[in-house]
Amino acid sequence: MNMLPIKDNVFYLGSKDINRKLFDQLVPLPQGTSYNSYLVKGSEKTALIDTMYPKMIDELVEKLDNGGIKTIDYIISNHAEQDHSGALPVLVEKFPDAKIVTNEKCKDNIKNMLHVDDEKFMVINDRDELSLGDKTIQFIFAPWVHWPDTMFSYLKEDNMLFTCDFLGAHYTQYDLYANCSKSLEEAAKRYYAEIMMPFRNFAKKYTALVKEMKVDFILPSHGPIYDQPEFILDLYEEWTSDKVQNKVLIPYVSMYDSTKILVEALERRLKDFGINVKVFDLIHCDEGELSMELVDAAGVILGSSMVLAGPHPAAITTAYLVNALRPKIKFYSIIGSYGWGGNLTGAIENMFTIVKPEKLDYVIVKGKPADSDIAKIDELAVSVNEKLKQIL
Ligand code: FEO
């Protein structure tokens, strides 16, 4: 395993973790992911930018050894999460003279999580510069994409921006550079939805900043390097905008098909209006796909059966997820069926503590839907269509 040259003494030392199924024991990874580390050799000093997920440390060390790297002067940590900082304890032992260069918040997080000694750090401020001789790295603080400690590192002479998690993707079908394919776009959108969307306004701000910089390369810490930065920046500009699409999501769970009958009737009616409808069976769907669709959906109609006098747990989990991801949805409703009684809506409503979509009339029926219940679904479909006309 070797370091891959990018440009003028800048090298890629990423590792692919193709078999990883989940991130944070939560986010599905259909392709696994990659952890990218970069080496910059200046005429006087050498810097490593971000490190590695602890499980993959051996690969990083092997690449450094095969590249004949005997000295590292600086290990720049753009973000403390351990998929990028996890190799620090091993590396500061291997390179005892190396300083970990980072901001105060990131230092604090690294010390708490990895117990690295205080004297190993060099703390920098926003826009400070670090000279490597013929190369200069400037630090640009970018808090909340997606942790408060996040920063970018800008290699001035080569016009390269190392963005850590920002603009990344859990994507492994690449050698070095982004192929700008539809599959990369989907992976980047899934990543954005799950990691950056809760911080949309910050992501919007830093997308604009990176656009203004007109860098030649964006080098994230997950996924491929962008040698055509406009590909990912244009996508982020669209995703972080305030605009929604003519799209409605219907995530549902149905125990005896009664709720499913309501869902299918609503899907038909909405499609008759020309609305893009995405239906998700919550017991079998990949929540990453649901998250992706939340990026630009206008509304969510949540379907649930009643379990023990309340909504099915899958419906509550989905409402929690929607609230946590903070999509720009404008409206919601709940549809569902119950057997003998209970409150099908209260626990779901209570989940919306951050996002505040407008509530449309609920359609809650007893048992198998009758014609009169389907008529109420028709009325809900009309309301959705009218709402979309106002919004779009
Ligand atoms: Fe890829 Fe926030 O770590």
Q: Convert the pLDDT of each residue in 253-289 to its tens digit.
A: 999 999 999 999 999 999 999 999 999 999 999 999 9
Compute the chain's Rg from CA coordinates: 24
User: Which of 344, 254, 251, 233 minimizes the C-alpha distance to 294?
Assistant: 251
Predicted pLDDT of residue 9: 97
The atom number, within ligand 1, closest to the CA of 168 reads 1
The arithmetic mean of pLDDT across residues 282-310, rounded, is 96
**Cα 259 to ligand 1 centroid, rounded to whole Å:** 38
**Cα 263 to ligand 1 centroid, rounded to whole Å:** 37
Distance separating alpha carbons of residues 137 and 116, to the nearest angstrom: 23
**Cα 49 to ligand 1 centroid, rounded to whole Å:** 14
For 62, residues 6+ apart whose C-beta sits below 8 A from its C-beta are 1
**Cα 118 to ligand 1 centroid, rounded to whole Å:** 23
Measured from the Cβ of residue 131, the count of other Cβ atoms closer than 10 Å reads 12
Distance separating alpha carbons of residues 267 and 248, to the nearest angstrom: 9
User: Which of 123, 69, 130, 60 minimizes the C-alpha distance to 89?
Assistant: 60
* pLDDT tens, residue by residue, 142-156: 999 999 999 999 999
376 confidence band (pLDDT: 50, 70, 90): very high
8 confidence band (pLDDT: 50, 70, 90): very high
Q: Is the CB of 79 under 6 A from ligand 1?
A: yes
Q: Is the CB of 84 under 6 A from ligand 1?
A: yes
State the alpha helices, DSSP H only, in the chain: 57-66, 82-85, 88-94, 104-114, 182-191, 200-213, 230-240, 258-272, 287-294, 313-325, 346-349, 371-391
Indicate the average pLDDT of the chain.
96
Q: Whose CA is nearest to atom 3 of ligand 1?
A: 81
Are the beta carbons of 287 and 281 closer than 8 angstroms? no
Are the beta carbons of 188 and 134 closer than 8 angstroms? no
**Cα 197 to ligand 1 centroid, rounded to whole Å:** 14
- What's this model's pTM, rounded to 2 decimal places? 0.96
Q: Whose CA is nearest to atom 1 of ligand 1?
A: 165
Are the beta carbons of 166 and 203 closer than 8 angstroms? yes
Q: Coil, strand, or helix at residue 133?
A: coil
User: Which of 238, 161, 242, 145 minimizes the C-alpha distance to 195?
Assistant: 145
Amino acid at 344: L
Q: Is the CB of 158 under 6 A from ligand 1?
A: no
Q: Is the CB of 17 under 6 A from ligand 1?
A: no
Are the beta carbons of 384 and 270 closer than 8 angstroms? yes
Residue 129, H or E segment: strand 129-131
Measure Cα distances from 234 to 44, 185, 193, 211 in Å.
37, 11, 16, 9
Q: What proportion of the chain, given as a percentage, has pLDDT over 90?
A: 95
The atom number, within ligand 1, closest to the CA of 146 reads 2
Q: Is the CB of 170 under 6 A from ligand 1?
A: no
Name the maximum alpha-carbon separation found in the chain.
Answer: 79
The atom number, within ligand 1, closest to the CA of 165 reads 1
**Cα 342 to ligand 1 centroid, rounded to whole Å:** 42
233 versus 26: the higher-pLDDT residue is: 233
Q: Whose CA is nearest to atom 2 of ligand 1?
A: 81
Predicted pLDDT of residue 117: 95
Please say if the pLDDT value at position 28 is more than 90: no
Please say if the pLDDT value at position 175 is more than 90: no
Q: Is the CB of 83 under 6 A from ligand 1?
A: yes
The atom number, within ligand 1, closest to the CA of 150 reads 2
Tokens of 19: 């078999």
Q: Coil, strand, or helix at residue 45?
A: coil
Please say if the pLDDT value at position 22 is more than 90: no
Q: Is the CB of 222 under 6 A from ligand 1?
A: yes
Are the beta carbons of 217 and 161 closer than 8 angstroms? yes
**Cα 83 to ligand 1 centroid, rounded to whole Å:** 6
The atom number, within ligand 1, closest to the CA of 222 reads 1
Please say if the pLDDT value at position 96 is more than 90: yes
The arithmetic mean of pLDDT across residues 219-245, rounded, is 98
**Cα 110 to ligand 1 centroid, rounded to whole Å:** 13
User: Which of 352, 355, 349 minimizes the C-alpha distance to 334?
Assistant: 349
**Cα 279 to ligand 1 centroid, rounded to whole Å:** 30
284: DSSP letter? T
